[in-house]
Amino acid sequence: MPHRLPLRISSSRSRKANRASVDMAPPSPGDDKRAAVNQPAYPRDQRARSLSRGGTPAVPNRSLSAADAAFLYLERSEIPLAIACVTIFDGPIPFDQFVAKVASKLAQVPRYQQVVVMPSLNMDLPTWEDDRHFDIHRHVFRVVLDPPGGEAQLEALAGRIFSQILDRNKPLWEIYVVDGLKDKRGALIWRLHHALADGISANRLLELFLDTTPEGSPAPSKPRLRRQVASDSTPKGGLAGAVHTAVDGLISTERSLLGFAQALVGDPKRDGSTNLFRLLPELLMSVERLPFNKPCGKRRKFCWAAFDMADVKAIREAVGGRVNDVILAVLTRALARYVKLHGQSTVNRFVRIVCPVNLRKPGQEESLGNQISFMPVALPMGVRDPVESLRAVAARTETMKSSGAATLLGLVAAGIAKAPPPLQALFWWGLPEVIFPVPILNMICTNVPGPPVPLYALGRRMIAAYPQVPTGYELGVNVAVASYDGKLFFGLIADAQVASDVNRLRDFLYVSFQELKRAARKLETVRAPAVPESPRQRKKEVPKPRRLARPKPTKPTEPTPPEPEMGSTAPTTPAAVPAAEDTSAA
């Protein structure tokens, strides 16, 4: 019988009534304290009745995009597809005031008050419908952390929360206000479904509910909503729309692929195709399974690490590359140590990491939904020198970017999105059921830029923000990275059975980062230029010609021709002396 421990969850209306516990998966050996989280859910038949009632909705219904809907089709108990973030503050968060704060901002995000409705037989894409029974207390919970309230307990709590699937009978988001942290700190755990937002838009939502000053921000005005034309939800209309979508999709996909091929091959200034051909042997090489590339279960573990952005920039300036290259180099070297820990070799071995790429254009930063593609990159784990490892990573990522790999994968995804909705649902639903003989990839690593300035929740400063990207299928470990207020935060999510020692991988991140930092500092010292000499010092070093006395004749006999003076070959003026060489540019 599974262990259960009441996890105190409360709302401002009735904290006592909301205390409960929910059975979780059987605990691992030695784990005798496991808490579970409950969220009350309305029965599906009641939800269906409420959505079928008449009346004009406050916000027009809207279909999900094909990319957003794919995350709904892919999700199952072993693949919970919610993105999340654990944020820590320098003081406890007052629960009732925070609930009121969130409620005052909901008008800015209509999606936060809508539920997903799946069409009959998947004849059309799912739609967002108004939740006529919306209750904010079913989304914001108060949790008391287990003693002693350290980071280990907070990581364990986050892992239990991230193990659960969001209830689709209500809007797909939750916030946990965590009390009981030591040092009088507070924490918020944010969760929202990947069908609602990707990493970029989720970051914007987090900034919306927080403030840029300790004093807070004024209440926002209610936005003006644009009416949209309702789609035909009848079976006949859905079938006609599916056929039209398929035909239009084939034409647009063919046009996009042709344009991509012309841009890649026809541009003489673009050397991405040439470099890509050089990497083809690595890209076509079979991907070997890492120790954590095994079928995942339902339980998750979460841990994190943090680094100073100033050190990251110093490494980048000394060695070259981008911030994302430094992240991937540190991760690759940490993975190499983790692979060796499990008795495997890293010689001539590559790790294939997929990096999400933001496709938003300028001015679209505030848009919700998923507007991303993916860039796969094969990185060598057998490079011993940390500087050469970073250079190898930077060269490969630059090649994949210049070759348009993310664009090509985006076109493939767009082609799938133009298929009839029933085929889309069948494709994405069945994909996790297929077990390939070799993995397509080893890991997902996403890097989301966050605000460079501090954020506040009711006057409490946010001092850390650890992101989480979903994992499942045969991806036992995934990594999310976010920058915030001068730091770089890593969040590692892992299957509790497949990668129970994910904390060791986190420790290897610290080791690899310090190793790269020392190597970059040593390289910078070797390249350090000599101190330039001042003009006055150079003038003092100019040798002055010496005048030699003429030899006096010893005999008054007839004069002989004088011998050449020893100093006659030396310059007689300082202008004729070459100045000391300036080594300041060396």
What is the tens place of the pLDDT at every residue in 552-570? 555 554 444 444 443 333 3
Given a cut of 80, whether residue 115 has pLDDT beyond it is: yes
Q: Which of 70-74, 331-335, 364-368 has the lowest mean pLDDT?
A: 364-368
The mean predicted confidence, pLDDT, of the chain is 76
Confidence (pLDDT) at 252: 47
Residue with more model confidence, 417 or 115: 115
Given a cut of 70, whether residue 470 has pLDDT beyond it is: yes
Residue with more model confidence, 3 or 374: 374
- CA–CA separation, 99 and 328 (whole Å): 38
pLDDT band at 367 (very low <50, low <70, confident <90, very high): low
Q: Tell me the β-bridge partners of 464.
A: 88
Confidence (pLDDT) at 202: 80
Confidence (pLDDT) at 382: 94
Confidence (pLDDT) at 29: 36
Confidence (pLDDT) at 28: 39
Matching CATH number, 240-449+488-527, of 3.90.550, 3.90.350, 3.30.559, 2.60.120 = 3.30.559
Sheet holding 477-484, edge to edge: 300-308, 487-495, 477-484, 443-449, 350-358, 372-380
Given a cut of 50, whether residue 4 has pLDDT beyond it is: no
Q: Which of 440, 435, 442 is nearest to 344 (CA)?
A: 442
Q: Which of 332-346, 423-437, 493-507 has the lowest mean pLDDT?
A: 423-437
Confidence (pLDDT) at 276: 53
Q: Which of 45-59, 248-262, 370-384, 492-506 has the lowest mean pLDDT?
A: 45-59
Percentage of the chain surpassing pLDDT 70?
63
- CA–CA separation, 422 and 425 (whole Å): 5
Please compute the mean of the pLDDT values over residues 104-124 and round it to a whole number. 91
Angle of helix 235-266 versus helix 405-417 axis, rounded to 10: 160
Show the DSSP H helices in 163-234 as ranges: 199-209
Confidence (pLDDT) at 122: 86
Query: Per-domain residue ranges for the chain?
Result: 240-449+488-527
Q: Which of 170, 178, 174 is nearest to 132 (CA)?
A: 170
Instruction: Find the distance separating the first CA and the last CA of the chain, reported in whole Å.
Output: 72
- CA–CA separation, 557 and 554 (whole Å): 9
Given a cut of 50, whether residue 400 has pLDDT beyond it is: yes
Residue with more model confidence, 301 or 8: 301
How far is the CA of 277 from the CAs of 280, 281, 284, 310, 399, in angstroms?
5, 8, 11, 36, 10
Element holding 440 (H helix, E strand): none
Read off the pLDDT of residues 172-198 as tens digits, 9 standing for 90 and up.
999 999 999 999 999 999 999 998 887
- CA–CA separation, 452 and 463 (whole Å): 12
Residue 148: asked if its preceding bond is cis (omega within 30°), the reply is yes
Given a cut of 90, whether residue 510 has pLDDT beyond it is: yes
The 3-state DSSP class for residue 561 equals coil
Confidence (pLDDT) at 221: 53
Please compute the mean of the pLDDT values over residues 308-319 and round it to a whole number. 95
Q: Which of 49-53, 491-495, 498-502 has the lowest mean pLDDT?
A: 49-53
Confidence (pLDDT) at 97: 96
Given a cut of 50, whether residue 52 has pLDDT beyond it is: no
Q: Which of 110-119, 243-252, 381-390 has the lowest mean pLDDT?
A: 243-252
pLDDT band at 128 (very low <50, low <70, confident <90, very high): very high
Angle of helix 323-341 versus helix 502-527 axis, rounded to 10: 130
Show the DSSP H helices in 210-289 as ranges: 235-266, 272-284
Confidence (pLDDT) at 159: 98
pLDDT band at 457 (very low <50, low <70, confident <90, very high): very high
